[in-house]
Amino acid sequence: MTVTASTQVGIVGAGPAGLLLSHLLALRGIDSIVVENRSRAYCEARQRAGLLEAGTVELLRQVGLGQRMDVEGLEHGGIYLQFAGERHHLDFRDLTGGRWVTIWAQTEIVKDLIQSRLAAGAQVEFEVSDTEVADLDDDRPVLRYTDAAGGRHEVRCEAIAGCDGFHGICRDCMPPGLVRVAERGYPYSWLGILATVPPSTDELIYSRHEDGFALHTMRTPQVSRLYLQVPADEDIEHWPDDRIWAELRHRLELPGWELKDGPITEKAISPMRSFVASPMRYRRLFLAGDAAHIVPPTGAKGLNLAMADVTVLAEALTSLLRDGNHHPVDSYSDASLRRVWRATHFSWWMTSMLHVDPGPDPFGAELQLAQLRYVTSSRAAATTLAENYTGYFPLHWS
Ligand code: RFL
Ligand code: PHB
């Protein structure tokens, strides 16, 4: 037997995009349901992003999600760029007139969002299966799912948001031929670790080494996060902990600076890809976050873009559902894609400047070094990096 119900917005996916959308809609008095195929514990533990643009931080504060972030988040006013045996500091505050970024893990944002949604009595269904969206040519599309106990549900919605990530189902539910995909693969992956050791640096170090890229970032004053460029099809079994630390030291250390090591609590390899699907809307189905676009993590943009999409979408859906005004939903896709393409270019640029292509490429290597020297010696070039890194497009939430 199928249980039927109705709500205003059906949201597929309890990642940062889906959960924040549900939270923002609730602030506007709009009901939603969130369905998620993983467990709550899995969503809260999934290690991913860690760096927030200033605008994302300000948005979280404005919508009541800033308390823990303000106490435990780490504000950074710049980064280090390392290449050819030299480490250079870029001072974002100086370059951008006071802008900064914050280290605050996606896991913590998701925990706060889930806690706050459940405390508000919102319907968030974990461990669902067989999610379907249908009747997309109707003004009342339908969301179907099987709950954790095996009960089938059908929810009539006034709009559906596909916040179900890159491997979700919503993008493929758009009519055939509508969606245009632009993408780029990269011939390398990132091996990421989480280690119980205080960071060896005050701000992030992005290192272009002739044997591959490395990044030293962090989660807390006690926990470091580090990444290594590895071949695209690399097997994590080839990377015992000792080898990881030796390679990190090789790519990050400089005379007078040492990398502290400690127990590795998590390690995984993630592929790198740029991918943009457009349009991000078909009638009353809207895509947001990784469901519509993926960037390589080098520019730290994925989470920020996901949260920016749903901020625009929440305002647009409010106009549609509360006032019957179609204009904001009509411009949702184009407005979001302008921000997405700026971040896509920036992420591609950072990635191409810092990673070493497999196979000999002396021309490419010299271009990278020329660009890195330029970014670290020209105020104009450094400002371009800083302006994009801290977030180029302002977010509006009134
Ligand atoms: P998510 O987080 O993938 O959430 C989608 C959710 O949908 C669920 N789902 C379904 N639920 C129901 N039915 C179905 N059929 C479903 N199919 C899928 C999934 O289980 C999941 O819970 O997408 P969202 O919300 O759009 O958020 C995007 C971000 O997670 C992502 O862009 C960032 O993590 C990217 N990223 C970074 N972004 C930054 O802004 N700053 C960073 O520092 C940064 N570092 C990173 C990153 C991503 C990384 N990896 C692993 C790709 C570092 C790494 C290593
Ligand atoms: C992270 O902290 O996980 C992180 C930070 C900056 C990046 C990518 C990942 O560019």
* pLDDT tens-digit series, residues 321-376: 999 999 999 999 999 999 999 999 999 999 999 999 998 899 999 999 999 999 99
The closest residue, in CA terms, to atom 1 on ligand 2 is 50
CA distance 167 to 180: 17
Catalytic residue among 80, 145, 188, 206: 206
Establish whether residue 55 lines the binding site of ligand 2, counting it when its CB lies within 6 angstroms of any ligand atom. Answer: no
Cα–Cα distances (Å) from 27 to 9, 113, 114, 314, 394, in that order, read 14, 13, 15, 10, 20
Confidence tier at 52 by pLDDT (50, 70, 90): very high
Establish whether residue 340 lines the binding site of ligand 2, counting it when its CB lies within 6 angstroms of any ligand atom. Answer: no
327 is catalytic: no
Averaged pLDDT of the chain = 97
267 is catalytic: no
Compute the distance from residue 391 Cα to the ligand 1 centre, in Å.
19
Ligand 2 mutation target, pool 227, 295, 354, most atoms within 8 A of CB: 227
pTM metric for this prediction: 0.97
Say yes or no to pLDDT of 394 above 90.
Answer: no
Confidence tier at 1 by pLDDT (50, 70, 90): confident
> What pLDDT is recorded for position 47?
87
pLDDT > 70: percent of the chain: 100
Establish whether residue 49 lines the binding site of ligand 2, counting it when its CB lies within 6 angstroms of any ligand atom. Answer: yes
Q: Phi/psi zone of residue 332: left (φ > 0), alpha (ψ -120 to 50 degrees), beta?
A: alpha
> Within its chain, how far is the Cα of 110 from the centroid?
12
Q: Phi/psi zone of residue 104: left (φ > 0), alpha (ψ -120 to 50 degrees), beta?
A: beta
303 CA: nearest ligand 1 atom: 40
260 is catalytic: no
Establish whether residue 225 lines the binding site of ligand 2, counting it when its CB lies within 6 angstroms of any ligand atom. Answer: yes
